[in-house]
Copies of this chain bind each other. A is one copy, B any other.
Amino acid sequence: MHSKKALNPRTKKEGSLKSPTTIAFLGPEGTFTELAALEHFGRGGDLKPYASIDDVFAAVAQKHVKHGVVPVENSTEGAVNNTQDCLIDSLVRIVGEVILPVEHHLLVGKDNRTKPLTKIASHKQSLAQCRKWILKNHPNAQLLECASNAEAAQLAASDDSIGAIAGKRAADRYGLISINQKIQDQRHNSTRFLVISDKDARPAVNNKTSLLIYAENKPGSLYRILEPFENLQISLTKIETRPSKIEAWAYVFFIDFEGHITDKLVEKVFIQLRKCSAEIKILGSYPVFKTEQRNF
């Protein structure tokens, strides 16, 4: 049982993979989500890749890990629906956010500079972020949707007919070369990641709160949800709709706003909100990442 792992002092201190200090991220290694986890937890974090967003949520909910890191929104392609649906279904809390610039490259095997590519593999969000570039440069390529960009890089490493859309990190990790650089359709392409846990975060200096609201099915219900925020002059930083999945054409609203659930002002918002909407689920209050987001 004297494995390499047991000899590593950090691993010893924080325990094995079952330790509650392990951090689950949407893997495999080499994804932007791993970079986001490193940004949040630093090099000292005990990172473990998981195969899907659902698996990261399950690992946190079942306390196999203390934290999880998943992508939630891209500045070009919008919400990551899978993460939103897990937030609807799960009881985990959002305890942090990370925003990273995302640049995509077309990666191929090292001996593949001259062969024609017939397939392009990537996560569906990355395929979407490069949609116009693909249509223009590889209009006949078959698109392979992968669980992650790193999985796409693995495919490209094993099959010469496949190119992978992924970041520079994946090229290094899987021994590929980049034949086209910065191919995302929008130059300013960033992704927002969430850090999740089964416990609430402690208040920081600047906080943000994320809510899920099931609005009533009657005229003006969204207006009445926004009214308390306007009355108390609290800025929204995001509003999104998703199908509620309870019945056809019913929606839930994802709302982010400035403030912490323990703030007096935010408590007042909740008192007013409870009068006007069917159901509220608090997803978490957490420190604002150091970047400029929008207000509306």
**Which of B75, B219, B229 meets A233, CB within 8 Å?**
B219
Q: In the complex, A142 Cα to B175 Cα: how many Å?
A: 22
Taking the complex as formed, is A293 at the interface, i.e. its CB lies under 8 A from any CB of chain B?
Answer: yes
Q: In the complex, A296 Cα to B188 Cα: how many Å?
A: 33
Copy tally for this chain in the complex stands at 2
Taking the complex as formed, is A221 at the interface, i.e. its CB lies under 8 A from any CB of chain B?
Answer: yes
Give chain B nearest CB distance to A38 CB in angstroms.
Answer: 22
Residue interface bits A214-254, CB-to-B below 8 A is 1, else 0: 01111111110011011001111011111101011111000
Taking the complex as formed, is A131 at the interface, i.e. its CB lies under 8 A from any CB of chain B?
Answer: yes
Taking the complex as formed, is A77 at the interface, i.e. its CB lies under 8 A from any CB of chain B?
Answer: yes
Taking the complex as formed, is A205 at the interface, i.e. its CB lies under 8 A from any CB of chain B?
Answer: no
Contact B226 A296 (CB under 8 A): no
Taking the complex as formed, is A144 at the interface, i.e. its CB lies under 8 A from any CB of chain B?
Answer: yes
Residue interface bits A268-283, CB-to-B below 8 A is 1, else 0: 0000000000000000
Interface centre among A185, A247, A296 (most CB of B within 10 A): A296
Residues from chain B with a CB closer than 8 A to the CB of A144 are 142-145
Taking the complex as formed, is A82 at the interface, i.e. its CB lies under 8 A from any CB of chain B?
Answer: yes
Q: In the complex, A230 Cα to B223 Cα: how many Å?
A: 7
Q: Which of A40-76 contact B (CB under 8 A)?
A: 52, 54, 74-76
Contact A294 B217 (CB under 8 A): yes
Q: In the complex, A76 Cα to B245 Cα: how many Å?
A: 6
Residues from chain B with a CB closer than 8 A to the CB of A238 are 241
Contact B294 A243 (CB under 8 A): no
Contact B190 A248 (CB under 8 A): yes
Among residues of B, the one whose C-beta sits closest to the C-beta of A227 is B223
Q: Which of A131-150 contact B (CB under 8 A)?
A: 131, 135, 142-146
Residue interface bits A181-224, CB-to-B below 8 A is 1, else 0: 00001101110000000000000000000000001111111110
Q: In the complex, A151 Cα to B290 Cα: how many Å?
A: 44
Among residues of B, the one whose C-beta sits closest to the C-beta of A189 is B248
Residues from chain B with a CB closer than 8 A to the CB of A124 are 124, 145
Residues from chain B with a CB closer than 8 A to the CB of A241 are 78, 238-241
Residues from chain B with a CB closer than 8 A to the CB of A219 are 233-236, 295-296
Taking the complex as formed, is A180 at the interface, i.e. its CB lies under 8 A from any CB of chain B?
Answer: no
Contact B251 A221 (CB under 8 A): no
With A127-B145, A145-B143, A222-B226 as contacts: A81 and B77 at CB distance below 8 Å: yes
Given contacts A220-B229, A223-B223, 11 further A-B contacts (CB under 8 A): A52-B135, A54-B135, A76-B243, A77-B243, A142-B146, A219-B295, A219-B296, A220-B230, A222-B236, A241-B241, A250-B294
